[in-house]
Amino acid sequence: MTVAPPVLKNSTWLTDFVLLAAIWGSSFLFMRIGTVEFGPLPTAAVRVAIAAAFLLPLVLLRGLGPTLAKNWRRVFLAGLFNSGIPFACFSFALLSITTGLSAILNATVPMFGAVVAWLWLKDRPNHSRVLGLVAGFAGVAMLAWDKATFTPDASGVAPGWAVLACLLACLCYALSASYTKRHLAGLPPLVTAAGSQIGATLGLGLPALWLWPDRMPGSSAWLALLAVGVLCTGIAYILYFRLIATAGPARALAVTFVVPVFAVFYGMVFLGEAVTPWMLLCAAIIVCGTALSTGLLKIGR
């Protein structure tokens, strides 16, 4: 078994890689803190609104406003699938399942991406990648097996629905990736990032206002959403696109595999969440399967 590394353009990629994984790992913690008081849809809406407010001035300062205005329909639509729906799904799921479990499920995004690219873009996988898809989905089934109950717990949300919400979010990420490749290729990454957050804000705005909590959330919840909006969405996008430029798409994609490590650590330290050997075993199977399905790992030559 060999790993096919991309060509590195400079030696600074490792710092960005670890920093991005640490930031994205913390997003599950911040969303968990926010969704308890805000509720799932308002949490997602506030997150994308803050990110949009952070990124839009950067677009205007770089003179990219006309580019965004010309392509707003396509970029806004991508935002619903790349941010709006997934963020709402994860916020909903975090009412019932741990941040670590949700982050492990999030690591299946590249695997779903390979399936969508196969069916939509006709990017047919080889035998090694098919084996990875089978292994990855088997790992998901194993991980979700003990969460398969659809009886609501103390949070009012059944763990089974929470797991399905995470998987729906991953599917949306995958659909957005293929849509972006087909319809948004060539656009400056900052335009896509800012426009997607604006589109997600517009899509979630009215439902979030309808479901806005009767009691104003406390300062800790507001600070958590400020952190997840600016740090985990706005700044993280900038780091991600810089990582693509310096280390290549393959290594940038691999950051998804490291995110659960940080998410599990944050959940243990700040929320007292337990990590079982079964979770770690399933996570290893999912990560290996995803790496095979995306071509990051190859069997044989």
Of 16, 64, 48, 61, nearest in space to 188 by CA: 64
Residue 152's pLDDT is 84
Q: What gap in Å lies between CA 83 and CA 298, rounded to an integer? A: 31
Share of the chain above pLDDT 90, in %: 49
Question: Which two structure tokens, joined as six digits, stand for 71?
Answer: 């392509």
What is the average pLDDT across 203-209?
96
Mean pLDDT of 65-84: 94
**How many residues are recorded in the chain?**
301
- Which uninterrupted H or E stretch holds 2? strand 2-3
Residue with the bigger pLDDT between 120 and 48: it is: 48
pLDDT of residue 125: 75
- Give 2's strand partners: 298
- Give the pLDDT band of residue 148 (cuts 50, 70, 90): low
Residue 266 has pLDDT above 60, yes or no: yes
3-state SS assignment for residue 176: helix
- State the pLDDT at residue 7: 45
Note the pTM of the prediction, 2 decimals: 0.86
Locus of tokens 């009691």: 215
Residue 148 phi, psi dihedral angles, 5° rounding: -75, -5
Model pLDDT for residues 220-264, shown as the tens digit of each residue: 999 999 999 999 998 887 888 777 767 766 567 678 778 888 999
Mean pLDDT rounded to a whole number for the chain: 87
User: Which residues lie below 8 Å from residue 21, measured CB to CB, with a gap of 6+?
Assistant: 255, 258, 259, 261, 262
What are 104's two structure tokens? 């492990």
User: Is it the case that residue 168 has pLDDT exceeding 50?
Assistant: yes
Greater pLDDT, 209 or 141:
209
Q: pLDDT for 113-147, tens place per residue? A: 888 888 887 777 788 888 888 888 888 888 877 66
In one-letter notation, the amino acid at residue 271 is: L
Sketch the domain layout of the chain as residue ranges: 2-298
pLDDT at 240: 83
Q: Which residue has the higher pLDDT, 255 or 2?
A: 255
Chain centroid to CA 17: how far? 15
